[in-house]
Structures are given as C-alpha cells and as structure tokens.
Amino acid sequence: MATVDFKAKAIEKARIATELDKEATALKDPVDWEKQRDKYEEALHAYRTCLDTFMTAMKWEKNPNITAQLRKFAKEYMERAEKIQEILKDPPKAKKAAVPAGGDSEKEKSRMRDAIQSAIVQEKPNVRWEDIAGLEQAKEALKEAVILPINFPQLFQGSGRKPWSGIMLYGPPGTGKSFLAKAVATEASATFLSVSSADLTSKWLGESEKLVKMLFETAREQKPSIIFIDEIDSIATSRNDSDSESGRRIKTELLVQMDGLGNSLEGLLVLCATNLPWAIDSAVRRRCQRRIYIPLPDERARRRLLEIHLAKMDPKPSLEPEQLQTLVSRTEGFSGSDIAVLIRDAVMEPVRRCQDAQAFKRVMVKNAEGVEEERLMPCSPS
C-alpha cells in the first residue's frame, strides 16, 4: 500500500512541477525576468521534491518493470531541473544589468563556506600517540607520512623526496582508524578538517560537488592542512550503471580535487578511513598513494587496552595477573571497540544486581577517606 502511495505522490508532484515550468517558460519577455525567475525557482523546488519522492517510490517498488519506468521519468525530470538551474545561472542579458554582480553566487559561496568551516577541528582532541594501544607500525607510518612533512617541510625540498598527498587507513571496523586520525590532529601543527559523507552530500541538485570543491578550497587557504574523510567508501564506491547522477558527480569532483588539476596540492594531505577498501573506486584508491593497514589488536595490544579501560573504572578492580591473562586470551579476535564495550558491560553488572535484588544486607565499607561507613549490599534470600 505504501508503494502505491509513493507512486501517486510522485506523479502528483511531477504534475505540479511541470505546470510551474510551463508557466515560467510562457514568460519569454526579458522585461518579465523577475516573475519568470520566481516561477523557475518554484518549478526547480517542485522538481527536487518530486525527485525525492520518485527515489522513495523506486526504493520500495518490487516490480522491476515499474521501477524501470519510474527511473526513466526521474531521469527526465532531473535533466529538466538541471536545465532550469542553467537558466537561473545565466539570466537574459536585459536583466543581468539589474542584478548585482555576483550577489547570489557570493551568498551561496558564503553559505557553503560556513558549512565547511564547521568541519574544521578548532580544539585539539588531546589524543597522543601513547594513548593508542599497539598499532606501532601504523603510528610510525603516520609519523613518517603526515607529521614529518608538516612539521619539517625542509626535509622534503630539493632532494627528490615528496610528501604523500593521499593516505588511506583501512582495516576491520573498530580497530582505531578514527582514533589514529584524532592523534594526527593533536600531534600535527596543521589545520585539521574532519568530514564524513553526511557533510558532503546534499539533497539539492548540484550542491554536493560544490561542497567537495569548497572543502578543498578552504584547506588550501589554511594550509598546511589535513582533510580527514571518514568512511570514504560511502561516497567513493566503484562506478557502475546503477550509480545516481549526483553520486557520479561527487566522485568526479573528488578525483579532480585529489589530482590537483589547476591547483597545487602543496601543503595539503587527504587522509581517508574505510572498512571496505575493495568497494572503493579504483581511481580514488590510486590517488591514495600510501595505504596503511590497521589490524585487530594482538595479545600485547589487548592487554594494554584492558589495562587502560580497567584503570578508568571506579573503584578500580583488583585483578590478579592470571585473571588478566585469562581476559587477554579470551578476547582474541576482538577489536579495540569490542573490548571497550566488554568493559562497559562489566561496569553495568553491579547495577543489574541492584535492580534484580530481592533483599539487601547492611555491611561496613571504607569510603574514599578510609573511614568505615554502613552501606546496603544487594543479595537474594537463600
């Protein structure tokens, strides 16, 4: 039933958009450009709403023939929306003189710049290399690839050595890729821009690639800069026939910017993180010249992770070395995130005992000052 509703809504919204488009097209006289522009903007908004509904209808439609038909209609409306955008960008000459030069484009540019500015990490995350358990090879590789070129650029001048312009961190989820990026942000004396796919995608046609371009422009203005793109596989998957037009444009703009076409990449580094390196477009992978594998923690790293998390517990548990070794052995195959969740779950165990207790008994315990106090301890009647 929901699919039928979405189809009906999409068709109705397409009808409204088409009518507004016809009304705008009928105003051909350049003198009426103000009215025509308003109508075109209404039509463009209606087309965008219509396309959103078509996408939802295609998502839930199970009949492949109907899905193909919906896709065909959506493509036609998308092309018309792009055409209207071109008309709005290039108004009739008679009206161009009346419009302040660059007014609208400057406003749009300022709005996008504000959106990108929010991605700049203003305060250092305060994560040091020593706060990261294990991953010694990854830390050394990042120091060599990121920290040295930014803090000591003279080492990479006139010697044939060139700093990397693209680095990819890949490995299983929860192994500390984003945490390593925070350490880089703390240790590097550079502007750190942290973005995800949500920051670079927009429901408005043509805006996503502008956000990508603005991101790199902002990074160049404030270089030395590091652009950290988390979960890059969500915006840079391998190209295929099922790709949307907006998805293709984002990838194209990302590739152009990472290539530095028309702009220098000096003082600029793109740091990416992904759990699915094989799903990333080969052209994007090629532009990440240095690839650093972030593995699951080994025995030594698991021990250090357990010690770090146990030290944060209050009161701190007293574990015998044999008990700690048992935990280390039993957490083989766990990621750093899994171990953190395990400790959090253990911390909740006393709360569960209080919640499930049917009776309590009075006990004497020492407080933080070492003075004995009477407390209630949960218990169950035997």
Q: Residue 321's domain spans which residues?
A: 299-379
Can you give the pLDDT at residue 98? 41
Can you give the pLDDT at residue 169? 92
Give the angle subtended at the CA of 217 by the CAs of 224 and 231, to the nearest 5°: 80
Residue pLDDT, tens place only, 142-191: 888 888 888 888 887 766 778 888 889 999 998 888 888 888 888 887 78
55 found inside a domain? yes
Can you give the pLDDT at residue 23? 80
Q: Are residues 289 and 308 in the same domain?
A: no
Positions of the chain with pLDDT under 70: 1-5, 28-32, 91-109, 111-124, 158-159, 202-206, 243, 260-264, 380-382
CATH code assigned at 173: 3.40.50.300
Q: Are residues 81 and 48 in the same domain?
A: yes
Can you give the pLDDT at residue 334? 92
Is 0.75 surpassed by the pTM of this model? no
CB 146 within 8 A of CB 184: yes
Q: Are residues 147 and 244 in the same domain?
A: yes
Q: Are residues 169 and 287 in the same domain?
A: yes
104 found inside a domain? no
Q: b or e along 48-58 (b: 16 or more beta carbons within 10 Å of the residue's beta carbon)?
A: bbbbebbbbbb
Can you give the pLDDT at residue 170? 93
Q: Are residues 350 and 280 in the same domain?
A: no
The DSSP bridge partners found for residue 372 are 366
111 found inside a domain? no
106 found inside a domain? no
| Number of structural domains in the chain | 3
> How does strand 191-195 pair with strand 290-293?
unpaired
Can you give the pLDDT at residue 122? 60
Percent of the chain with pLDDT over 90: 7
345 found inside a domain? yes
Q: Are residues 169 and 202 in the same domain?
A: yes
Q: Are residues 10 and 158 in the same domain?
A: no
148 found inside a domain? yes
Strand positions, DSSP E, the chain = 166-170, 191-195, 225-229, 268-274, 290-293, 359-366, 372-379
Can you give the pLDDT at residue 101? 46
Q: Are residues 76 and 143 in the same domain?
A: no
Residue pLDDT, tens place only, 47-84: 888 888 878 877 777 777 777 777 778 788 888 888 88
Q: Indicate the DSSP class of residue 82.
A: H
Q: Are residues 7 and 51 in the same domain?
A: yes
157 found inside a domain? yes
Q: Are residues 288 and 316 in the same domain?
A: no
CATH code assigned at 322: 1.10.8
Q: Are residues 237 and 141 in the same domain?
A: yes
Q: Are residues 280 and 312 in the same domain?
A: no
